[in-house]
Amino acid sequence: MLVLGIDTSCDDTSVAVVEDGTKILSNIVSSQDVIHKKYGGVVPELASRRHLEIINFVVEKALKEAGIKLNALDCIAVTRGPGLVGALLIGMMTAKSLAYVHDLPLVGVNHLEAHIYANFLEFSSLKPPFVSLVISGGHTDLIYFHDFDQYKILGRTRDDAVGEAFDKVAKFLNLGYPGGPVIDRLSREGDAKKIRFPRPFLGKSFDFSFSGLKTAVVNYVVSRKENNSAADIVAGFQQSVIEVLTAKAINAAKEMKVGKIVLGGGVSANSALRKYLKTQAKKNRIKVYFPALCLCTDNAAMIACLGYYKMKKYFKDVKNRCFSLQQLDLNVEPNLKIEENFSL
C-alpha cells in the first residue's frame, strides 16, 4: 500500500511517500528555521503563509523522488492535530483537495502518535506493550502503549514542554534557534558536573515540570556567582533534563512491567539523552528504541506510517474507495490529545 503523508503541524512543511508502513520512498522536509530564527521561536502566521507558498512544490518533489504518480497512491494521510491551527489547515486542505480530485481515501492522524510510530518505520519487530516518551517542542508525554490504539497517559508536563525549555534557555543565552540542537552541540564542550541545577522530579509523579529549571538557569546567569562558560551552563541544564526524563521513563517501565521504552519527538535526537538513557536502561534490563535522527524531528514519513496502520485496521478494502467522500468532513484539532483515541 502506497501512502502519501503530509505534515504541516508547526514550522516544517513535510511530504513523504511510504510503502506498506515501512519502506520510505521519499521524505521531504522543508524547514522554516531561517524565517523564525530572528524571533527566537515560531511565529504562527508566518508559518502558515510559508506552508501555503511551498506545499505544492513539496508534494511534487516527494512524488518525483519516490518515482511515482499521484494515481499510483492508495491513500493520503495528514496530520489533523495537535499543532498550530493555521499551519494544520494548509496540510489538511491540500490533503483533502488531492483526495477529492484523485478519488483517494483520506485519513487524519495524530501527530504525537505518529512520533511513536516513527519507530515502526525502522524496527519492524517492535511490538507493544511498551512505555513511550514523546518529547518535542510542544509536548512531554509519558504514555503506556498497551496495544495499537490503546494508550494510557501516565504523566505529562505541567508547564513548559521539554523542547520549549531547551529553546527558551538557548534564546536567553543568545545561542540561536532552535535551541535543542545548539545546546546539544555546545554541551559537549562543557562540564555537566560543574553547575548543579535542580532536578524537578515532583516526587513519585510521572508528570514533568521544566519551567522552574529554566528559571534556575536564568537566575544563575543573572547573578553570575562564578564565571562559568555558556558551555558549562547548558551542559548542567541538559544533564538535569536528561536525568529527570530517564528516571521517570525507567520507573514507568518498571511500574507497567514492560521491558521496552520507545522514544519519539525532536528532543529524542539529543545525543546525551540517547547515551544516558541507554546506559541506565541496560542496568535495569530494559531495551530502548530511538528513531533515526532524521525521524525524531517533524517529518511526514511517520504520518504516512501511522496512516498505513490506521487504513489497514479500519478500512478493510482500501481499493474500494467508498470512504473517500466521507472523510472530506475531517477537520483539524489544534489541541488533539493522544488519548482521544479517535484518529480517523
**Site size with ligand KG4, rule: CB under 6 A:** 19
**In the bound complex, what is the minimum distance in angstroms from residue 319's beta carbon to ligand KG4?**
33
53: its cell numbers: 507558498
Which of 3, 4, 6, 10 is the binder for ligand KG4 (CB under 6 A)? 10
Q: How far apart, in whole angstroms, are the C-alpha atoms of residue 14 and residue 37? A: 19
Does 136 bind Zn ion (CB under 5 A)? Our answer is yes
The DSSP line for 213-267 is HHHHHHHHHHHT-S---HHHHHHHHHHHHHHHHHHHHHHHHHHHT-SEEEEESGG
Applying CB under 6 A, the span of 97-105, 160-168, 249-257, 305-313 interacting with ligand KG4 comes to 160-168
Which of 12, 184, 207, 298 is the binder for Zn ion (CB under 5 A)? 298
Does 167 bind ligand KG4 (CB under 6 A)? Our answer is yes
Applying CB under 6 A, the span of 31-39, 89-97, 265-273, 330-338 interacting with ligand KG4 comes to 265-273
The helix-helix angle for 271-283 and 179-187 (nearest 10°) equals 70
Applying CB under 6 A, the span of 28-36, 243-251, 266-274, 325-333 interacting with ligand KG4 comes to 266-274
**In the bound complex, what is the minimum distance in angstroms from residue 136's beta carbon to Zn ion?**
4
Q: What residues between 286 and 315 interact with ligand KG4 by CB under 6 A?
A: 297-298
Applying CB under 5 A, the span of 56-64, 85-93, 270-278, 297-305 interacting with Zn ion comes to 297-305
Does 113 bind ligand KG4 (CB under 6 A)? Our answer is no
**In the bound complex, what is the minimum distance in angstroms from residue 179's beta carbon to ligand KG4?**
5
**In the bound complex, what is the minimum distance in angstroms from residue 273's beta carbon to ligand KG4?**
7
Sheet holding 106-110: strands in order across?
Answer: 23-31, 12-19, 2-7, 75-81, 106-110
Provide CB contacts within 8 A for 168, sequence distance 6+: 160, 179, 214
Angle of CA points 160, 273, 304, to nearest 5°: 75
User: Which one, of 86, 66, 60, lies nearest residue 25 by Cα?
Assistant: 66
Does 179 bind ligand KG4 (CB under 6 A)? Our answer is yes
User: Which one, of 343, 342, 338, lies nearest residue 134 by Cα?
Assistant: 338
Q: 75 or 242: whose CB is closer to ligand KG4? A: 242
Long-range pairs of 144-148 with CB within 8 A, sequence gap ≥ 24: 144/252, 144/256, 144/258, 145/116, 145/262, 148/309, 148/313
Q: What residues between 126 and 145 interact with ligand KG4 by CB under 6 A?
A: 136-138
Name the site residues for ligand KG4 (rule: CB under 6 A). Answer: 10, 136-138, 163, 166-167, 178-181, 184, 265-267, 269-270, 297-298
Instruction: Tell me which residues touch Zn ion (CB under 5 A).
Output: 136, 298
